[in-house]
Chain A
Amino acid sequence: MSIFSLAITVLIGVLFFVLFFHISNFLLDYFRVKASKNFAFENSIRVIIFIAPAFIVLFVFIIYPVFETIRLSFYDKVGENFVGLFNYTWAINDPDFKRSIINNLGWLIVVPTLSTFFGLVIANLADKIWWGSIAKSIIFMPMAISFVGAGVIWKFMYDYRGPGDQQIGLLNAIAVAFGFEPQAWLTIPIWNNLFLMAIMIWIQTGLALVIFSAALRSIPNETLDAARIDGASELKIFWSIIIPYLEQTILVIWTIITILVLKVFDIIYAMTNGQWQTEVLANLMYDWMFRGGGDSGRGSVLAFCILIGVIPILAWNLYRHKQEQKV
């Protein structure tokens, strides 16, 4: 399509929603002037106008699908015949599924831990150095890039040429310079998972970094100065004051990255598509969504497994929200 027709489509799409709110509110005001002043009635109409579009979207795209997916997990591939726990028993005995669970657990342990750790260390280093904010910008930059773009960047880093050839991937060039054999990194089972995780860590460290930087600024300077006067070393201050102070922040960052890692898809799909034992739940789920015309039963079971992973976090968030509402 040409720029022009794309622009028109975009404009119509956006205007539709702007006009919906303007016109419906205008009509309400218009009839209010004419009709008797029934405020309660007017208010409830207004509430409906304000809420309805968002609620319909929320219902169609989130609420209904969540329950429908759970229902479909007990049905066959076209979602018509009840098959009980068939899809679940299939999953438990499926080697790809087992591999995915193991890999997802690996991702869950390694990525949030290292991202949070690097973020914390860099935030502390950058805080005291005059060029710290430039350093932070650079480390934060991968946050803006797509996973696929990051995938290309790292596939280039991991590129492999035969032992006699010039290596054009940086990692192999370094390996060769130190006298090692070049490796096709992404095809070495078990280890290749770490090379894929490295990409996610590379991206998410920036997130941890900016949140920690903001939190660090809230630590009262008097506390730190007092510790310094008492002769505490920087390392001691880090462990005994900064870490306990940031406990809540660490937990928050950990959960954000955990949620992200649970549904990691793009990186695997773009880099290995689950080959060489790198399969994860989200990629397997996408695969079953379309494999052989699509299997909604198996796809739903896999999606449900991802949901189970986030339920503790979901419950905790709701609990905290309730606590805050009370205050």
Chain B
Amino acid sequence: MKKLSFTSVFSQLLLLLFVIAWIVPTFGLFISSLRDKDVLAISGWWTSFTTTEVNEIYRTKGKEDQIKEGDHYFIKSNLFDENQGKEIFRFGVTSKNIDEYEVGKTALFKDETEITVFENGDYIWKSKEEFKKKKGKRIFVSAKSPPSFTLDNYKEVLLKEGLGQAFLNTFAVALPATLIPLIICSYFAYALTWMKFYGRDLLLATIIASLVVPLQMCLIPVLTIYNDFGALFGVSAKSYPGIWMAHTGFGLASTTFLLWNFLKTLPSEMIEAARVDGATHYDTFIKIVVPLSIPSFASIFILQFLWVWNDLLVGLVFLDKHPSEIILTAKLKELLGSRGENWEILTTGAFVSMTVPLFIFFSLQRYFIRGLVAGSVKG
């Protein structure tokens, strides 16, 4: 009994270790996408849950804000633009000694003006003579920054970086590129299962061979066909219908194979009975086979949809990089090149591209897994 519990504790720990290793990368990305971009660039995302100490530089207001009280001139304001809950604990007025003074104490500038900085960023700058400079002075502060999260990055990425449009484009690619193969393959799979015709076995073998043919084998000739077609009719070779058909072509074998696998498990007596009663193949297909195949359609829909949504290569080859056509993955790759150091944009962009797959994953996981397992049993 004792030995058993040791094994159990050990396996729990081991599994926990795996889970942590697997979740941490995604979690870090998600947290980072919610952080302020300036903080994100200088501290690890794991520090965002605790109060951290940051050193920052602010500038005071200039002469326009001065008021005269008695013999002295004052500028009273707050260093922070917006209240982020930061607490200043030390400050300084020269870059050589950025934490010279304790908060609440009064510091002396070279021009003999005095400044007092308070914990919440309020300051009082006092001078015997009138302030003459438009520009204020630099103040160095050491502050305690509490955990703070923001959706600003999402606004920035969706509206300014064009990811919102790319998101719509990806839908416009993925929905038809999933539905079209589903429609034509369901008829095809029905014919392969229940209709008798010459060359059926050869066709089935071709499908099975096509399952593993690498996409790269097809790219160059298909692109040539597209270019010729475009030149012939004077239209762009890269278009939405073009990429729908490309995805249909590259997903055709697996969709047909999965459907065929499912259809052959249906009882043949049922189909034959319908045929004997005088139903055409079309009636049998629409009235009997389709209703029975809905769960299997759902699995295949999810697999193909995720495949298309996550695809980069086909999108790169068959669509323009123009804003009205670019898909999320291509856009993300473009950002990796052009904004490689802007982690607030990259992390947020990546998370935006993951929202739909993750939503499908968490809401329809059962169908997703069923499809994957069904597809893999035969390889």
**A contact residues vs B (CB 8 Å cutoff):** 1, 3, 6-7, 9-10, 13-14, 17-18, 21, 25, 28-29, 43-44, 46-47, 49-51, 53-55, 57-58, 60-66, 68-69, 72, 79, 118, 121-122, 125-126, 128-129, 132, 135, 137-149, 151-157, 159, 165-170, 173, 202, 205, 207, 210-211, 214, 234, 252-253, 255-256, 259, 262-263, 265-266, 269-270, 281-282, 285-286, 289, 296, 299-300, 302-304, 306-307, 310, 313-314, 317-318, 320-321, 325
Q: What's the least CB distance linking A15 to chain B, in Å?
A: 10
Q: Other than the known A144-B360, A169-B44, A310-B214, what 20 A-B pairs have Cβ atoms closer than 8 Å?
A: A6-B169, A9-B172, A10-B171, A46-B280, A57-B248, A57-B249, A62-B249, A63-B210, A66-B217, A72-B220, A125-B11, A139-B19, A145-B358, A146-B354, A147-B312, A149-B310, A168-B40, A266-B313, A281-B216, A306-B217
Name the A residues within 8 Å of B360 (CB-CB): 144
Q: Which of B62-70, B105-113, B184-192, B292-300 contacts A (4 or more CB under 8 A)?
A: B184-192
Q: Are A156 and B28 in contact (CB under 8 A)?
A: yes
By beta carbon, the residue of chain A nearest B356 is A144
Contact B8 A128 (CB under 8 A): yes
B1 surroundings in chain A (CB, below 8 A): none
Give B216's nearest chain A residue, CB to CB.
A303
**CA separation between A211 and B374, bound complex, in Å?**
9
B273 part of interface (Cβ distance < 8 Å): no
B66-100: which residues lie under 8 A (CB-CB) from chain A?
A: none
A-side contacts of B190, CB under 8 Å: 50
Q: Which of B206, B311, B357 contacts A144 (CB 8 A)?
A: B357
User: Which of A1, A152, A304, A325 is the one whose CB lies under 8 Å from B324?
Assistant: A1
The contact of B358 among A58, A141, A317, by CB within 8 Å, is A141
Q: Which of B22, B280, B281, B332 contacts A202 (CB 8 A)?
A: B22
Q: Are A54 and B184 in contact (CB under 8 A)?
A: yes
On whether the beta carbons of B379 and A146 are closer than 8 Å, the reply is no
Contact partner, B205, options A18, A53, A64, A321, Cβ 8 Å: A321
| In the assembled complex, B376 has its CB within 8 A of some CB on chain A | yes
Asked whether, in the complex, the Cβ of A47 is within 8 Å of the Cβ of B195, the reply is yes
A269/B333 in contact, CB under 8 A: yes
With an 8 A cutoff between CB atoms, is B329 at the interface? yes
Query: Taking the nearest CB of chain A, how far is it from the CB of B299, in angstroms?
Result: 13
B374 CB to closest chain A CB (Å) equals 10
Within 195-220 of B, Cβ neighbours of A (below 8 Å) are at 195, 197, 201, 203-220
Instruction: Report the minimal beta-carbon distance from A250 to chain B, rounded to whole angstroms.
Output: 12
Contacts of A173 in B (CB 8 A): 44, 46
Q: A152 near B347 (CB under 8 angstroms)?
A: yes
Q: How large is the interface on B (under 10, 10 to 19, 20 to 34, 35 or more residues)?
A: 35 or more
Can you name the residue of chain A whose Cβ is closest to the Cβ of B7? A234
Task: Determine if B350 and A152 form an interchain contact, defined as CB atoms under 8 angstroms apart.
Answer: yes
A263's closest neighbor in chain B, by CB? B214
Segment of B115-123, B149-157, B365-373 engaged in the interface with chain A: B365-373
Cβ of B42 within 8 Å of any chain A Cβ, yes or no, is: yes
When the two chains form the complex, which single residue of B16, B201, B332 contacts A148, counting CB atoms closer than 8 Å? B332
- Chain B residues in 8 Å Cβ range of A256: 376, 379
Residues of chain B within 8 A (CB-CB) of A303 are 214, 216-217, 219-220
Q: Evaluate whether A25 and B217 lie within 8 angstroms (CB atoms) in the complex, with A3-B168, A13-B240, A325-B201 already known.
A: no
Complex partner residue of A58 from B29, B44, B210, B217, CB under 8 angstroms: B210
Q: Which of B22, B187, B310, B373 contacts A54 (CB 8 A)?
A: B187
The listed residue with most A CB atoms (<10 A of its CB), out of B12, B221, B224, B358, is B221
Give the residues in chain B near A50, CB-CB below 8 Å: 187-188, 190-191, 195, 281
24 A-B contact pairs sorted by A residue (CB < 8 Å)? A10-B176, A17-B179, A18-B183, A28-B282, A50-B281, A55-B203, A58-B206, A61-B222, A62-B213, A72-B220, A79-B224, A118-B18, A146-B310, A149-B329, A154-B25, A155-B336, A169-B44, A170-B44, A211-B372, A263-B215, A266-B313, A303-B214, A306-B216, A307-B213
Q: Which residues of B contact A125 (CB under 8 A)?
A: 11, 14-15, 18
Residues of A within 8 A of B23 (CB): 138, 141
The CA-CA distance from A21 to B254 in the complex, in Å, is 21
B359 CB to closest chain A CB, in angstroms? 9
A13 to B174, CA, bound (A): 12
Query: Separation in Å of the B223 CB from the closest CB of chain A?
Result: 8
Determine the distance from Cα of A259 to Cα of B222 in the docked complex, in whole angstroms.
21
Segment 21-60 of B: residues with Cβ below 8 Å from A = 22-26, 28-29, 32, 40-46
Q: Taking A144-B306, A152-B349 as contacts, is the C-beta distance between A65 and B218 under 8 angstroms?
A: yes
Knowing A125-B14, A289-B220, say if A214 contacts B44 (CB, 8 Å).
no
Tell me whether B244 and A13 are in contact (CB under 8 A): yes
* Contact yes or no, A153 B29, CB < 8 A: yes
Of the residues A62, A266, A317, contact of B218 by C-beta under 8 Å:
A62
0 or 1 for each of B160-179: is its CB under 8 Å from A? (1 = yes): 00000000110110011001
- The winner among B19, B212, B378 for most chain A CB atoms within 10 A is B212
Q: Quick one: which of B188, B204, B309, B368 has the most chain A CB within 10 A?
A: B188
Q: A57-B252, A252-B377 are in contact. Are A153 and B26 (CB under 8 A)?
A: yes
Answer whether A21 and B353 are a contact pair too, CB < 8 Å, given A62-B210, A63-B206. Answer: no
**B158 at interface by CB-CB < 8 Å:** no
B223 contacts across to A, CB distance below 8 A: 289
B240 contacts across to A, CB distance below 8 A: 9-10, 13
Given A135-B18, A168-B43, A296-B220, is A318 in contact with B197 using a C-beta cutoff of 8 Å?
no
B250 part of interface (Cβ distance < 8 Å):
yes
For the complex, give the distance between the alpha carbons of A17 and B252 in Å.
15
Known contacts A62-B252, A314-B212, A307 near B201 by CB under 8 Å: no
Residue of A nearest to B40 (CB): A168
Assess A146 versus B369: contact at CB under 8 Å? Given A135-B15, A156-B347: no
Q: Known: A17-B184, A310-B213. Is A300-B220 also a contact (CB below 8 A)?
A: yes
Give Cα A320 to B204, complex, Å: 13
Is B245 an interface residue, CB under 8 A from the partner?
yes
Q: Which of B12, B19, B207, B313 contacts A286 (CB 8 A)?
A: B313
